Structure 1
Amino acid sequence: MARTLPGIRLVLTYRREWLAKDLVAGVVLTTLLVPQGMAYAELAGLPPITGLYTSIFCLLGYAMFGPSRILLLGPDSSLGPMIAATILPLAGANGDPARAVALASLLAIMVAVIMIVAAVAKLGFVADLISKPTMIGYLNGLALTILVGQLPKLFGFKVDANGLIGEFVAFVQGLAGGEAVLAAAIVGIAGTALILVLQRWLPKVPAVLVMVVLAIGAVPLFHLAQHGVDLVGVLPKGFPPLTIPHVSVADFGLLFAGALGIALVSLGDTISTSSAFAARTGQEVRGNAEMVGIGVANLAAGLFQGFPVSTSGSRTAVAQQSGAKTQLTGVTGAVLIILMIVLLPGLFRNLPQPALAAVVITASLSLADLPGVARLWRQRRTEFALCVAAFLGVALLGVLPGIAIAVGLSILNVFRHAWWPYRTVLGRMSGVPGYHDIRSYPNAQRLPGLVLFRFDGPLFFANASSFRDEVRRLARAEPPPAWIVVAAEPVTDVDTTAADMLEALDEELSAGGTSLVFSELKDPVRRKIERYQLTRTGDPRHLYPTVEAAVSAFRRQTGAEWGGGTADRRESSTTD
């Protein structure tokens, strides 16, 4: 069991000197867990108490099965809109809270099953399906979506609209129609400003806790309830029972689609966060083990009226700064929340709803990465375009379509690089060993009758025709080259489609008096070429171990000498 369960192993290896630090960090962590859990529950369209249930059981589940000693899971601002987009259309126009909770709980269980099955299949690499530029665009779109969605709550009224543009228009119309509650707006705006100021200038101060305490104190002092400010009210008392969610079979399709997106975002967030903190603590990141930990955390939350969870970078950072050493920090936080909801359910009854909106809005701002967008604009315009496309996908089409667009764009970007890899002609530069790209060395020399062609990618069905067309263009030079030598060191694979293309191309070039020659073939690729029997049409001697060997053979055969002029830069092409 110690080998299988990281929690058991931690107990057996626990050091006494860690105890005080873990307990203190757990107390500090709880001050963040409670208001964030309640706020993110409402962001997901669920009652605030479900955020506390979720926090309790995901912390306990990950403490037992999670491989990281420091990582903390819980309700997350990036998942809230995805959960809401999945369950609210199914909960019905009346928004029945019990049905919404059941749907969210089943969604968490589905995420758990996806994670655990993927871990058993060792599919941890799927976290790489979203590239950083598309993730930046997705999170920026998500931040804007969350911000606009919380503005009515911040100003004390509600809107009946869907989508970013619809919600923004409805918010502006509500303001113009005088629906805003002045006292609520003051609480919300002041709370947002206070959190941002404290986070900027006093980062060690628990900004969210300070704002929440002041907001609760302001309610009786200024009689905010009589001025139209909505309050959280008394939370349900008692420990949540083990509950198997019951939903219609017709709901499974949309729930499963949402679960896939949530699992992908949660895994990507967890891997990146765990990598960052592992680098600081000297621990090793194990992707498949993390998937098990996330899966069990979601399963535990789903069985006790919770909703899907992910890693929280902010809560993990707070725990680490407070001296946390192990997962006992999270367990301490879970125990304290249990004591609160069992013994003090009315502790947050005077918490204004605009204060919760302030918590969510400040969290959404932390998701945005405008400097990252500016860097992409400066460094690589194509990836900037991917970022903008992912942003527009979330902002205009919604959160779930947005994550699908982000994944699709990332995959298409990979395919684009494979379909049209960098290719160039090489030449020799005096005083510089080897053969080099003529774009970098425009005065590089070339042997008359010889073209050294480099193709920087695997040869497969998608790019076989582009390889063929480029070689044909080189062969049409006047006078035509006697040899076209492919510097094939970057070619990592040749599939059967490409092999058929090479066979036909070799016969075509030979008919025109040009030999197709390969150099620096990797051993696995060379074995494939021999297995495809390409040497049946091509000269077996035209496979050279190095470019230099091919050049020497050409010179011996033709008597060509260096100094035959400078390279023509038009004989190569490239893509971004």
Structure 2
Amino acid sequence: MRWLPGLHVLRHYQRDWLPRDVVAGLVLSAILVPVGMGYAEAAGVPAIHGLYATIVPLLVYALLGPSRIMVLGPDSTLAAVIASLILPLAGGSVERAVALSGVLALMTGGFLLLIGFARLGVMADLFSKPIRLGFFNAIALTVMISQLPKLMGFSATVNGSLPRLIEMVQGFLDGRGNPAAMAIGVGCLALILAVRRWRPQWPGVLMAVVLATTLSALLDLSATAGLDVIGPVPHGLPVLTLPIATVTLEDLRVLAPGAAIIALLAFADTSVLSRALAKRSGTRVNPDQEMLALGSANIATGLMQGFPISSSNSRTPVAASAGAQTQLANLVGAAVIALLLVLAPGLLKDMPQAALGAVVITACISFTDWPGMLALLRQRRVEFMLAAVSFLGVVFYGVIEGIAGAIALSLLVMVWNAWHPYHTVLVRIDGMKGYHDAARHPEGRFVPGLVLFRWDEQLFFANADLFREAVLQAVADAPTPTRQVIVAADAVNDIDVTAADMLGELDHELEARGIDLQFAGLKGHVRDLIMRYGLSPRFDADHFHPTVGNAVNVYRARHGVKWRDWDE
């Protein structure tokens, strides 16, 4: 029961849940069909494979998933990543694109299982908020540009977002667009956005797609107006296939980094959504079980002619608002799609590609966050720079390159911050307890002959010399001749061998000037390190104080300093 939560739910299923689960499943299926087909087209594979990638994960997650109402399936944020990985390798072959997408799903599932079993989910922390903002905005822009040919009614002959956008504009100005496609695409786009704005409880996507398909079929627009439609859909359910016949070892080498990034993105999205659902229902969800279910769903989808999938932040709320109680709602949705493929696949053949393009574009609009990026510019420019690098890298160089560059820059910023930490001299402020930053309080008072120096980072080889120079500069800037330096070391959580040697040399240099070096607030394990490094002869117990206040009192008593504090 621990590894198969779906069986536990089934054993404790309540009869009054059934009507709500059935209704929610029917409502959900109406959204799953157009969205799944649209995301498949955006991922670079035929639309039917979007339905395969919808049915299979719903079935697997219903058995293995710990969340009762989470919906898995094709994801708009992953579509551009998948397309950028498989289309250059496919060389225009649809069969090879399908095989590569299946292998990518298998590799993604493998990485997700590794994340779950090895507890490597911490790697998702590399996708900081600025990187995610830049990435999602870039993905949204990339996918929307990739869908423009469908709305325009003619094919793009170039790759890359900017060249494709230029070609679309030039083609529109030259009159190469298909009027029927543009009318249907823009109409569906307007209808979905209008319903989302003024009647959010209505199924705008379903309304737009059904209306467009009905018009296409009644007026036979594919024949009379040259409208590009889905065309004949294969009859029946997906079959078990091992998609390795046309895939080479070189293909696997190219796909592996992308599969790892897809796994991390899917892990991050699913973890956030899973915790949100658990909090709403007052339950707890095992994250390891979540990754096991997500990884297994990807592997099963890859074996059943699908492509990588993730949790859905748009379809899960649909199931919840429709009254779903358990994963039975998802099973009903999967069953409806399966019946459609078996009994009436012809209903989909007149669905316009322009309508699917509008569905994908509206999905992309929903997860863009341009105000968020502008807020970063106001809040902290270095964070905005990370978001901009992520955005520009993905748009102009590709998903892998953009994400890798942004993560590398993020790590560089982290190293720089540790290399050049904040440090200051502390002063006493009348009417305020404690000791405070002299740079922020110029009215503060110095204790005569005493330098209180605060260091806000660990001490290691990269910043050891900076620490030494900063202490000596503080001594040089002191308003009175210095007798003692006290390092406020509450934030120092580690000292390496290089930094320890520097402390010994600094103490010797200050001693030659008649200045004593002591520490306040140093953590016990860091003090033990200093002793272990052989500095016991230079730093005995009298060199360490529990707090800055205690160190100041000891200094005043020892040297007979005539200085009255404000609270005395």
TM-score range, shorter chain: over 0.9
Letter of the 2:410 partner, please give it.
Answer: S
Which has the higher mean CA deviation after the structures are superposed, 551-560 or 34-43?
Answer: 551-560
For 1:298, the equivalent position in structure 2 comes to: 298
Cα 1:338/1:483, change in 2 over 3 Å: same
Deviations 1:227-263 (A, max 9, x none): 1111111211112111111111121111101101111
For 1:121, the equivalent position in structure 2 comes to: 118
Pick from 215, 219, 229: which aligns with 2:212? 215
For 2:380, the equivalent position in structure 1 comes to: 380
For 2:199, the equivalent position in structure 1 comes to: 202
Is 1:245 aligned to 2:246, yes or no? no
Correspondences of 1:156-171 after superposition (within 5 Å): 156-171=153-168
Cα 1:495/1:6, change in 2 over 3 Å: farther
Offset, 1:40: 0.5
**Given that residues 60 and 296 in structure 2 are in contact (C-alpha distance below 8 angstroms), is that contact kept between their aligned partners in structure 1?**
yes
Please state whether the residue corresponding to 2:433 is helix, strand or coil: strand
**Given that residues 447 and 561 in structure 1 are in contact (C-alpha distance below 8 angstroms), is that contact kept between their aligned partners in structure 2?**
no
Offset, 1:315: 0.6
Pick from 221, 226, 233: which aligns with 1:224? 221
For 1:340, the equivalent position in structure 2 comes to: 340
For 1:180, the equivalent position in structure 2 comes to: 177
Offset, 1:501: 2.6
Deviations 1:155-186 (A, max 9, x none): 11111111111111121222233221011001
Task: Supply the distance in 2 between the matched residues of 1:424 and 1:67 (Cα, whole angstroms).
Answer: 50
Please state whether the residue corresponding to 1:39 is helix, strand or coil: helix
Offset, 1:70: 2.4
Is 1:528 aligned to 2:529, yes or no? yes
Letter of the 1:533 partner, please give it.
Answer: G
Is 1:495 aligned to 2:500, yes or no? no
Cα 1:502/1:205, change in 2 over 3 Å: same
**Given that residues 135 and 406 in structure 1 are in contact (C-alpha distance below 8 angstroms), is that contact kept between their aligned partners in structure 2?**
no
Cα 1:242/1:561, change in 2 over 3 Å: farther
Is 1:78 aligned to 2:98, yes or no? no
Is 1:98 aligned to 2:99, yes or no? no
Offset, 1:359: 0.5
Offset, 1:564: 10
Letter of the 2:532 partner, please give it.
Answer: R
Cα 1:101/1:220, change in 2 over 3 Å: closer
For 2:453, the equivalent position in structure 1 comes to: 453
Is 1:63 aligned to 2:55, yes or no? no
For 2:277, the equivalent position in structure 1 comes to: 277
Please state whether the residue corresponding to 1:128 is helix, strand or coil: helix
Number of residue pairs matched by the alignment? 562
Is 1:143 aligned to 2:140, yes or no? yes
For 2:34, the equivalent position in structure 1 comes to: 35
For 2:256, the equivalent position in structure 1 comes to: 256
Please state whether the residue corresponding to 2:347 is helix, strand or coil: coil
**Given that residues 394 and 403 in structure 2 are in contact (C-alpha distance below 8 angstroms), is that contact kept between their aligned partners in structure 1?**
yes
Task: Supply the distance in 2 between the matched residues of 1:279 and 1:378 (Cα, whole angstroms).
Answer: 32
Offset, 1:365: 0.9
**Given that residues 454 and 486 in structure 1 are in contact (C-alpha distance below 8 angstroms), is that contact kept between their aligned partners in structure 2?**
yes
**Given that residues 189 and 359 in structure 2 are in contact (C-alpha distance below 8 angstroms), is that contact kept between their aligned partners in structure 1?**
yes
Please state whether the residue corresponding to 1:425 is helix, strand or coil: strand
For 2:319, the equivalent position in structure 1 comes to: 319
Letter of the 2:320 partner, please give it.
Answer: Q
Letter of the 2:237 partner, please give it.
Answer: F
**Given that residues 425 and 474 in structure 2 are in contact (C-alpha distance below 8 angstroms), is that contact kept between their aligned partners in structure 1?**
no
Offset, 1:208: 0.5
Letter of the 1:198 partner, please give it.
Answer: V
Offset, 1:108: 0.5
Please state whether the residue corresponding to 1:458 is helix, strand or coil: coil
Task: Supply the distance in 1 between the matched residues of 2:202 and 2:220 (Cα, whole angstroms).
Answer: 28
Task: Supply the distance in 1 between the matched residues of 2:138 and 2:321 (Cα, whole angstroms).
Answer: 30
Task: Supply the distance in 2 between the matched residues of 1:39 and 1:370 (Cα, whole angstroms).
Answer: 24
Task: Supply the distance in 2 between the matched residues of 1:217 and 1:299 (Cα, whole angstroms).
Answer: 36
Task: Supply the distance in 2 between the matched residues of 1:407 and 1:333 (Cα, whole angstroms).
Answer: 38
Correspondences of 1:35-54 after superposition (within 5 Å): 35-54=34-53
**Given that residues 76 and 312 in structure 1 are in contact (C-alpha distance below 8 angstroms), is that contact kept between their aligned partners in structure 2?**
yes
Offset, 1:527: 2.4
For 2:352, the equivalent position in structure 1 comes to: 352
Please state whether the residue corresponding to 1:457 is helix, strand or coil: coil
Task: Supply the distance in 2 between the matched residues of 1:561 and 1:292 (Cα, whole angstroms).
Answer: 69
Cα 1:136/1:546, change in 2 over 3 Å: same
TM-score by length of 2: 0.95
Task: Supply the distance in 1 between the matched residues of 2:498 and 2:61 (Cα, whole angstroms).
Answer: 47
Cα 1:410/1:32, change in 2 over 3 Å: farther
Task: Supply the distance in 2 between the matched residues of 1:128 and 1:326 (Cα, whole angstroms).
Answer: 30
Which has the higher mean CA deviation after the structures are superposed, 174-183 or 405-414?
Answer: 405-414
Pick from 230, 233, 246: which aligns with 2:231? 233
**Given that residues 389 and 402 in structure 2 are in contact (C-alpha distance below 8 angstroms), is that contact kept between their aligned partners in structure 1?**
no
Q: Structure 2: give runs of 5+ residues left out of the alignment.
A: none
Task: Supply the distance in 2 between the matched residues of 1:292 and 1:459 (Cα, whole angstroms).
Answer: 40
Cα 1:5/1:402, change in 2 over 3 Å: same
**Given that residues 39 and 360 in structure 2 are in contact (C-alpha distance below 8 angstroms), is that contact kept between their aligned partners in structure 1?**
yes
Task: Supply the distance in 1 between the matched residues of 2:377 and 2:14 (Cα, whole angstroms).
Answer: 49
Cα 1:441/1:139, change in 2 over 3 Å: same
Task: Supply the distance in 2 between the matched residues of 1:286 and 1:500 (Cα, whole angstroms).
Answer: 46
For 1:506, the equivalent position in structure 2 comes to: 507
Cα 1:371/1:559, change in 2 over 3 Å: same
Letter of the 1:90 partner, please give it.
Answer: L
Q: Structure 1: give runs of 5+ residues left out of the alignment.
A: 566-576
Letter of the 2:109 partner, please give it.
Answer: A
Task: Supply the distance in 2 between the matched residues of 1:266 and 1:452 (Cα, whole angstroms).
Answer: 49
Task: Supply the distance in 1 between the matched residues of 2:291 and 2:28 (Cα, whole angstroms).
Answer: 23
Offset, 1:342: 1.2
Task: Supply the distance in 1 between the matched residues of 2:142 and 2:562 (Cα, whole angstroms).
Answer: 66
**Given that residues 376 and 383 in structure 2 are in contact (C-alpha distance below 8 angstroms), is that contact kept between their aligned partners in structure 1?**
yes
Task: Supply the distance in 2 between the matched residues of 1:536 and 1:17 (Cα, whole angstroms).
Answer: 77
For 1:190, the equivalent position in structure 2 comes to: 187
Deviations 1:426-478 (A, max 9, x none): 21112211112224433121101212122222223333333233223213335
Please state whether the residue corresponding to 2:434 is helix, strand or coil: strand
Deviations 1:37-85 (A, max 9, x none): 1010110100111111111111122222222222211101110111111
For 2:7, the equivalent position in structure 1 comes to: 8
Offset, 1:147: 1.3
Task: Supply the distance in 2 between the matched residues of 1:511 and 1:192 (Cα, whole angstroms).
Answer: 78
Task: Supply the distance in 1 between the matched residues of 2:503 and 2:4 (Cα, whole angstroms).
Answer: 53
Task: Supply the distance in 2 between the matched residues of 1:24 and 1:253 (Cα, whole angstroms).
Answer: 45
